[in-house]
Amino acid sequence: MEREIIHINVADFAVAVERAMDSGIRQRPVIVAFPAARAVVYDMSEEAYQDGVRKNMPLHLARRRCPAALLLAPRPALYRRATRRLLQRAQRCTPLVEQGEGDGHLFLDVSGCRRLLGPAADIGRRLQREIRDDLGCPPVWTLASSRLVAKVASRLVKPVGEYIVPAGSEQRFLSALPISLLPGLGREEQLRLREFNLARIGDLARLSARELHLVCPGRATFLHRAAQGIDPTPVGRRRHTLARIVVDHDFPVPRHDDRHVRATVIALAGQAGRRLRRRGMGCCRLGVHILYADGRTVQRQAASPHPVLDDRGLARLALTALYRGWHRRVAIRALQVHCFRLIAPVRQLSLFSATPGDRTRQERLCRAVDAIHDRFGGASIVPACRLVPGEGAA
């Protein structure tokens, strides 16, 4: 059966959500950035993009390039809610839905949905209409036999449009396009390819993997397959939903004091632990995402050789990841804790070591506290390590 992959892309997602909330700014160029010193661009509208504004560009430079732009402060919590609604809308079509890189990007495998929902093209058009009516954000949608080709097609029709690449025409479709449209190809690799007069994807397709290895060692296999439109990567929820737990906190006022930030991270680790224990899973890798007041972000991770699901172990991993990335003298606006590599905690009992027993007691204690929280609320018992002097629970 031929694969049918739909790619949904709400271009400039943060701006699209803001315009859906306020129709009065739809005709104006918009820059989304925190109004702070040394701030960078969080997102921008197509009009600002045409004037030369780019993501992560210093805000003062962006304002010079597009002086008529309206400046809006980001609202990450609003964008997360819109992302969840977008995902829920897509999951009504197929369970094989995966979020792409960044907000507003979805891949759907509708290969087996023809009898139930009709042809894939009809599914794409109907989904585009439903997203526009529900969220007020008209998306780009494309249809192809692979994720890579669908992604490239969406870059041709932004900010609004559709593109269908018929099965069997992938290489012909890609051949005349510039190599900059290939996903996953960095700037240095593009410059390296252009030094060899390889400017279009068709130029790569005419070379063998061995010849490409002389140009870009380590990337030859990817380039050879991508240039021919070959991408067998399956679409699934594993990467962004079932295989990850995310909890976050937005500070009403950006904070920089160690006690408050530390207590917040420990509280987030506790929330993640409660979700892990409900699933009966443990976390082998934990990441902390720091959003500074000027819009810059830092992500760091910490790992454990065995699955962790008790609050003490998760807090230890979270604090390790936090202090690996928290080195700037800028206030923090938001924190996120991500739990990766979720594994059922199966352990071999030891005759001598006391560590497994200690771990078991910690997990039993955490489950008892979870039961109290379920019955009396999350504020009924709060560990002292989550308290900030003068403010109560974090």
User: pLDDT tens digits, the chain, 394 residues: what are they?
Assistant: 688 999 999 988 999 999 999 988 888 999 999 877 678 898 999 999 999 999 888 999 999 999 999 999 888 888 888 988 898 888 888 888 888 766 788 999 999 888 888 999 999 999 999 998 888 888 999 999 999 999 999 999 887 789 999 988 888 999 999 999 988 888 888 888 888 898 999 988 898 888 888 888 878 888 888 888 888 888 875 444 446 788 888 888 888 889 899 999 999 998 898 888 888 888 889 999 998 888 888 999 999 888 888 888 899 999 999 999 999 888 898 899 999 888 876 555 555 554 545 556 666 777 776 777 666 666 666 676 666 555 544 4
Residue 325 phi/psi, 5-degree rounding, is -115, -10
How many residues are given for the chain?
Answer: 394
Say which residue the tokens 């892990």 belong to.
Answer: 276
- Quote the pLDDT of residue 378: 66
- Quote the pLDDT of residue 346: 54
How far apart, in whole angstroms, are the C-alpha atoms of residue 162 and residue 209? 32
CB burial class (10 A; 0-12, 13-18, 19+) of residue 364?
Answer: exposed
Two structure tokens written together for 348: 């071999």
CATH 1.10.150: does it fit domain 171-227?
Answer: yes
**DSSP secondary structure letters along 25-71:** GTTS-EEEE-SSTT-BEEEE-HHHHHTT--TT-BHHHHHHH-TTPEE
Residue 294 phi/psi, 5-degree rounding, is -90, 5
User: Could you give the 3-state DSSP secondary structure of residue 74?
Assistant: coil
- Quote the pLDDT of residue 394: 42
Residue 303 near residue 284 (C-beta atoms within 8 A): yes
Q: Which architecture does CATH list for 243-393? A: 2-Layer Sandwich (3.30)
Q: Give the number of other Cβ atoms within 10 Å of residue 273's Cβ.
A: 29
User: Could you give the 3-state DSSP secondary structure of residue 250?
Assistant: strand
Residue 112 near residue 3 (C-beta atoms within 8 A): no
Q: Give me the torsion for CA of 60, 64, 68, 72, rounded to 10°.
A: -10
Q: Give the number of other Cβ atoms within 10 Å of residue 322's Cβ.
A: 24
Long-range contacts of 234-239 (CB under 8 A, 24+ apart): 234/96, 234/109, 235/5, 235/96, 235/97, 235/98, 235/107, 235/108, 235/109, 235/147, 236/96, 236/98, 236/109, 237/95, 237/96, 237/97, 237/98, 239/98, 239/99
Domain residue ranges in the chain: 15-76, 171-227, 243-393
- Quote the pLDDT of residue 282: 85
**DSSP secondary structure letters along 205-239:** HTS-HHHHHHHSTT-HHHHHHHHTT---PPP-SII
Two structure tokens written together for 141: 């949608």
How far apart, in whole angstroms, are the C-alpha atoms of residue 232 and residue 276? 31
Closest CA to 156 of 9, 270, 359: 9
Question: Tell me, which fold does domain 15-76 have in CATH?
Answer: MutS, DNA mismatch repair protein, domain I (3.40.1170)
Residues ≥6 apart with Cβ < 8 Å to 78? 17, 21
Residue 235 near residue 97 (C-beta atoms within 8 A): yes
Q: Where are the alpha helices (DSSP H) in the chain?
A: 13-21, 46-50, 59-65, 76-91, 114-117, 120-135, 147-157, 170-175, 187-195, 201-205, 209-215, 220-227, 258-279, 311-325, 355-376
- Quote the pLDDT of residue 149: 93
